[in-house]
Structure 1
Amino acid sequence: MGSTMRRLVVATLLTMLALSGCAQVAESCDERAPALGDEGKADGPAGVDVLAMLAPGEGREATVTGARDQLGYVLYAEAGTEVKLEVTHRGSSRGFDSYLQLRGPRRADDGDYPEVLATDDDAGYGQLSRLTATVPEAGFYLAQVSVDEEARAAFTEARFRLLLTCEGSRCDADGPIAPMGDDVHWVRNAAEYRALSIQAYRTATAQIEAMHAAGELPPSWTVTFDADETLISNAQHERERQELGLGYSARAWSVWVNRREATAIPGAAAFTARIHELGGHVAVVTNRKAADCDATLDNLRTVGIAPDGILCRVGTSNKTTRWQMVEDGRAGDIPPTTLVMWVGDNIHDFQAMGQEVRHEDESALEAFGSRFIIIPNPMYGSWARNERL
């Protein structure tokens, strides 16, 4: 991101700090929650971010912070297996005072790990933790690393490395905790999904080209996009969470965003390039947090999408104010402009729209296929909170 664009993005976002709440009454606008697999499932014990599977001999490294001070890894063990877990000296921050628990087995009905099998404070090197426990039955267990209670008041951040070894029986899973759901399978593998996405972007292209040919586009014009499941796909992340038997986790989501591995939605790169060819601007207004904005921009550019401005979320997830900022010329390199089209996967990605429109006459959806272009997303969204009739 150039220095001018970065300053404009940061300044734009800081003006939003005083804003809070969602302007769409009776609707939660946070499109990331509830996420895939979060219906009736806990993400481990309350407050624990479960990050990945843990295999024998595989040292997993992560960072705990004051805000995210309980992290978990899932392991599989056969009945009678002696499980050894250690927060190792190598790979862990100097002076880190860890606390280690082994919980389980996992309950199939809600995904929780209610029983604590073993705990340790500082049986390892220095103030690091090490424990050994024999698991009572075959199943999935949770290794939970946290900051020692007495050290939390002065704690800010530390890295750690967690190592698993097993004796007496198997300690690795043949497969994931849960199978891939039909929603993620459809997005990742269905010809229909690819066809629908390409169809949507071809419709958008035809609309813009027709407006251009008819001289209907203003001197400065912009198409505004959501990011997730609109320009880039997070289906791989959703698959990884599903296979852990988990739903949305803020920590795991931020780790995924910073991996910069989201792929382009079919048709998205070609449409954004066509906008630039015709003299327009590309704005991205996303509910990814401001702290993840640089990683998001990097990811977009990697897959061939070059926004002229990007506005991430600070405070409210409602996008109305940020759309106005785009029009006012307060988004990256975009001058004062007119928004001529909205593209998104969530009903809240469109001006003056909410889930209540599903009860209205078809005329309320008249803009779809012209000014509004929607990309299919069966994995998550505000629709998940609608009543199940």
Structure 2
Amino acid sequence: MRRELMKVWNVLPVAVLVACGNVPSGDKPAEALGQQKQAVLYVPPPSTSGNIYDSTTYLGPVNLGGSVQTYFTQNPQFYSFKVTVPGSITARFEVTHGGSSMNLDTGLMVYGPRSASGSYGIQPYKQDDNYGYGDLSKIDEVPLTAGEYLVVVSSGSGSGKQFRLQTTCLSGACPTPSPVSDTSGVELALSEQSITAQLEATLEAGNDVHHWTEGSLRRFDFAWPYTSPPTLTHADAAVMALQEYSQYAADDAIALSYSQARAYLYSEFDPLHAQILATYGNGTENVQVATRYHEYPVAAGADGWFRLFVILFPQSKKVIVFEQTGYET
């Protein structure tokens, strides 16, 4: 007998992710001005290739004057971001108090400029341990010539903690943001990151409810150095380009608001809905969803139901992919 699997959820409870404090640049507490505790600067291990890029986890480009926010997933860890400098400038790179977790100790390094052979070298051009707020890092008034640089944010004990890297052009040939028209042919480069332990536990609890339904949840970050926001079309195309979701490419994509998407999800995964928004949203951005669906026989007299959700957080620069499957018993 065919079992009806689609269940309607209740009204969305709104949850807001609040950044950890809002201290203006330069408003440094007394303990951070001269009474900082001794900390270790975690520098990426030298690569045998002679290119420090190979000793880091590259998350994409960051434009001057822009920022990126993500979190560490292991200890130690070294995240890298490419910064393109159009001409001689003076810049600042900072792991900011706002947007970073409490009690986080970071390192910050700038490598480059990139050579003609494509290497950033293995010796940092500039580095800092805890010149920023508390044990956070800041490299201030650093002179740079034209070229590509690799900015590395590290931590020895930051697993599960969030950070925000802000780049600032202080003077010189400061670039202007890319115009809206530049995004017409842009493809999102997705970088997969681990989901939080809380979301993992909630997902597993939902999977344990029935043996005939199952959900999977993945998180991807991306860089976006443009003035216009990324679109749901960008996010959907990037996910469809992943081989594991290619079977959905022939299905029609339906665009939904985040609250509308809830009506298409199984009730056993209900707690995920609010948690995803609270974990990855900034409280104000327009979170959008594209969903695709198909069904086909999985055994004699039994069908399978397959639905994919591509969830775009345009300001937080994240794409969450949720897939749910159900089987006729």
Same fold per TM (> 0.5)?
no
Q: Which has the higher helix share?
A: 1
Higher percent of residues as strand: 2
Which of the five TM-score ranges fits, normalised by the shorter chain? 0.3 to 0.5
Q: Which has the larger radius of gyration?
A: 1
TM-score of the superposition, structure 2-length normalised?
A: 0.44
